[in-house]
Chain A
């Protein structure tokens, strides 16, 4: 029974990691760049949801939507301010460092504004427990699984079956050829950033009640998101989804059977093992297609 319960907890955490990691993987697939401020979009999403609920008195479901919109807007802004101007330089380092600066700015801006004391982010679903077959799940966790599954499913359908989704994948495969086919790269890259950041914001709204909500909340998740993206294969969407769930499971089982302090050791041990034996990712089948 403990096994089943931990399995469930692992899937809850895992699906949130997937929401955050998918954004990193999407941006990497299309741009071969890392947005280091991705973590802080998660934090901003969490705070946006918190203030929408606790100051404006809105409902949690709408708060998730608000966080999604705020995240998307931030992604747009970061692309316009940082990635767009640096694109011509074709450097893999400069955007990384510039977004480290953005991340320092955002974290300390939030620290100055919200203070270091953790916020108690509770939703109306946090304390309602559903019991079935000897297992416990809060409505909150049920909501997390449902919303993430819908969001990930919609993204998947979008990428497979819509014109824009196909354009996005085309740019990921070969930017120059896609340009020759009449696809507007800048628009596709912008779209990628908005989707990636909207997912991060939404992830933040659902991570807020789980994590200790401080201006540094996102930073604790992002390192794991990096590990997930590598384990799943940089730019590989299916791989990222599986790796995210896997890391969530590793985390819940390590906490149960070993020691909570060991989770990062196990996750990053797996990361190094992946890099040693299968550098293209655990689930990589095709190296041509990156998203």
Chain B
């Protein structure tokens, strides 16, 4: 767990702020460009939908990474927060006629609140105990979604959930989110904002406090850090991210069934964070993209595709325990000295 923080430390090296700031700006520009160009490159419905799922999964993985990689809490309940966000916002829209963005905020807030509640309860549990407690929370949430038929219509599902209302900016054509490319811009844009927000937060003293709690709770407490409060804080934010992802998911797919939020979803999100590299922010982004695209690319080989997916997951953990990003950094570092020698004056 401790190795993960090296990436963020390297980024925020105190000396020479201008080159690193330039690098940051370049990376941000690349991300914006990628988001802008991708739906133009992949124009068919199928791949545009895959892009949207990618963006949703990145949001889910970022939320879990904050809890797992930065606050060091093994949370297997992310599927529950995801489902809560989806169902709360959808029920507010379809039953009470709440406007979309109001329901979105309430869904996000509701999921975050559930995260805070679970965390307040789980704050004294550690490691596998917290893992199983959060897994239990996910099972209970799933069962309630499945069995409270009067509210959620259980396995029958909720249909015809409207997409977000069209956005009419002055001087621009109306942006309709029924079109997948626009939906992708909306979700990917939100996810990018969330990333930047997390990045800023983790560079601030908040990030240092969280890392201190993760590395050694007793030392952190002796420095006056309220460990329990920080864990609850991270849990709440991480769950709110999942809640936002759930709101987007419901309005993108248009139907909701409890099975979309079964506990296996938690494991998928966990795998994204680990494969990418937990405790870095960019790791879960790549992990989520890879593990979303990989099963689609393997679709051609039929029945065995998920077998290969499982094999790939196992091999990444066995061979690159720090995740893809750390492995890539190690390779770059090995190439690094030669490059530095060449470019030094």
Interface residues of A (CB under 8 A from B): 28, 32, 34, 82, 85-86, 89, 91-94, 96-98, 100-109, 111-112, 223, 226-227, 229-230, 234, 259, 261-262, 264-265, 268-269, 271-272, 275-276, 279
How far is B215's CA from A262's CA once the two chains are assembled, in angstroms? 40
Minimum Cβ distance to chain B for residue A114 (Å): 11
Contacting residue for A105 out of B1, B74, B267, B311, CB 8 A = B311
A97 and B274: CB pair below 8 A?
A: yes
8 closest Cβ pairs, A-B complex: A104-B310, A105-B310, A101-B314, A101-B313, A112-B303, A108-B306, A98-B317, A261-B147
| Closest Cβ neighbor of A99 among chain B residues | B314
Contact between chains at B306 and A92 (CB < 8 Å): no
Question: In chain B, what residue has the closest Cβ to A102?
Answer: B314
* Contact residues, B289-345 vs A (CB, 8 A): 303-307, 309-315, 317-318, 321
If the complex has contacts A226-B132, A234-B128, A272-B121, are A100 and B304 also in contact, measured as CB distance less than 8 A?
no
**Assembly CA distance A98 to B315 (angstroms):** 8
Asked whether B128 lies within 8 Å of A28 as measured between CB atoms, the reply is yes
Which residues does chain A contribute within 8 Å of B132, judged by CB atoms? 226-227, 229-230, 271, 275
The number of chain B residues with a CB under 8 A from chain A is 41
Residues of B bordering A, CB below 8 Å: 1, 74, 121-122, 124-125, 127-129, 131-133, 135-137, 139-140, 143-144, 146-147, 263, 267, 270-271, 274, 303-307, 309-315, 317-318, 321
Expressed in whole angstroms, the Cα–Cα distance for A93 and B137 within the complex equals: 19
**Contact A272:B140 (CB < 8 A) given known A93-B74, A226-B135:** yes
Q: How far is the CA of A212 from the CA of B176 in the complex (A)?
A: 46
> Hey, which chain B residues are within 8 Å of A82, CB to CB?
314, 318
In the bound complex, residues from chain A placing their C-beta under 8 Å from that of B309 are 104, 108
A sample of 25 cross-chain residue pairs with beta-carbon separation below 8 angstroms, ordered by A number, consists of A32-B128, A86-B317, A97-B274, A98-B313, A98-B317, A98-B318, A101-B312, A102-B314, A104-B309, A105-B306, A108-B305, A111-B303, A223-B139, A226-B132, A229-B132, A230-B129, A230-B132, A230-B136, A261-B146, A261-B147, A268-B136, A268-B139, A272-B133, A275-B133, A276-B121
Selected from A85, A105, A229, the residue in CB contact (under 8 A) with B318 is A85
What is the predominant secondary structure among interface residues of chain A facing chain B? helix
Residues of A within 8 A of B314 (CB): 82, 98, 101-102, 105
A264 contacts B125, C-beta separation under 8 Å: no
Residues of A within 8 A of B267 (CB): 100
Q: Are B129 and A102 in contact (CB under 8 A)?
A: no
In the assembled complex, the Cα of A92 lies from the Cα of B314 at a distance in Å of 15
A93 to chain B, nearest CB (A): 7
CB atoms of B271 and A100 under 8 A apart: yes
Chain A residue with the shortest CB-CB distance to B263: A223
A105 to B313, CA, bound (A): 9
For A262, what are the chain B residues with a Cβ–Cβ distance below 8 Å?
143, 147
A107 contacts across to B, CB distance below 8 A? 306, 310
A104-B313 in contact given A223-B263, A234-B129, A275-B129 (Cβ < 8 Å)? yes
Q: Which residues of A contact B317 (CB under 8 A)?
A: 86, 94, 97-98, 101
Cβ–Cβ contact B313 & A100, under 8 A: yes
Chain B residues closer than 8 Å to A97, beta-carbon distance? 270-271, 274, 313, 317
Tell me which residues across on chain B come within 8 A of A226, comparing CB atoms. 132, 135
Chain A residues with CB under 8 Å of B307's CB are 104-105, 108-109, 112
- The answer to whether B128 and A112 touch across the interface, beta carbons within 8 angstroms, is no
Q: Check if A279 sits within 8 Å of B125, measured CB to CB.
A: yes
Which B residues touch A34, using CB under 8 A? 128, 131
Is the pair A104, B306 in contact by a Cβ cutoff of 8 Å?
Answer: yes
Report A-chain residues with C-beta under 8 Å of the C-beta of B1. 91
Among B129, B144, B306, B318, the residue within 8 A (CB) of A279 is: B129
Complex Cα–Cα for A86 and B316 (A): 12
CA distance A94 to B124 in the complex (A): 23
